[in-house]
Amino acid sequence: MTEPHRDNPGVLVFPPGLVAGTLGVGLVLQWLYPWRLPIGVIARIALSGSILAPALVLGLWGERAMHGAGTNVNPSQPSTTIVTSGPFRFSRNPLYLFLIGLYLGVAVAVATVWPFLLVVPMLLVLHVGVVRREERYLDAKFGEPYRAYKASVRRWL
């Protein structure tokens, strides 16, 4: 028997869950094997704030653009249109940039090395298990309009 057609990209993992889970593993490793970043409190607050503030703005702006376009934010639900407004004019993945900024900002705030060691595997899972699957889905669903958008807007920055 064949699998019924799913109108979603079939991502391997829910992106916020990937980020939260990876950060959680880093914090558990910090608890088990403490390894602090050599950064003072003032520098830590300033650096984490300078990462978190623009990430939050980007995340809210991206979510607003998706809702305004009438499509779903959750990648397990169908996309109804290609969003090209708001931050999607500059990046095809502003919500994932928000999640990465959130992850890095929190990692700096808690001043532990472990999340920084886990960031590369997390980004690989995000890229291969989420972004690439979404791109294949959008290409199959929207065809040439998506390919034109993809050709004119960078994947990340």
In the chain, which ranges are E strands? none
User: Which residue type is seen at 124?
Assistant: L
| pLDDT score recorded for residue 6 | 84
Residue 132 belongs to a domain: yes
Percent of the chain with pLDDT over 70: 97
The arithmetic mean of pLDDT across residues 84-90, rounded, is: 98
Residue 97 belongs to a domain: yes
Residue 157 belongs to a domain: no
Residue 4 belongs to a domain: no
Residue 10 belongs to a domain: no
Three-class secondary structure of residue 36 per DSSP: strand
Confidence of residue 3 (pLDDT cuts 50, 70, 90): low
Q: What does the alpha-carbon distance between residue 92 and residue 96 come to, in Å, rounded to a whole number?
A: 9
Q: What does the alpha-carbon distance between residue 114 and residue 104 come to, in Å, rounded to a whole number?
A: 11
Structurally, how many domains does the chain consist of?
1
Structural contact between residues 107 and 23, judged by C-beta atoms closer than 8 angstroms = yes
Residue 87 belongs to a domain: yes
| pLDDT score recorded for residue 97 | 98
The token pair that represents 20 in the structure block: 């939260």
**Domain span holding position 90:** 15-30+38-152
Confidence of residue 1 (pLDDT cuts 50, 70, 90): very low
Q: What angle do CA 18, 21, 24 make, to 5 degrees?
A: 150
Residue 3 belongs to a domain: no
In 40-114, which ranges are E strands? none
> What's the predicted TM-score (pTM) here?
0.94
- Comparing C-alpha atoms, which of 123, 110, 129 is closest to residue 28? 110
Q: Compute the mean pLDDT over every residue in the chain, rounded to the nearest whole number.
A: 96
Residue 9 belongs to a domain: no
Distances from the Cα of 96 to the Cα of 14, 15, 87, angstroms: 11, 8, 12
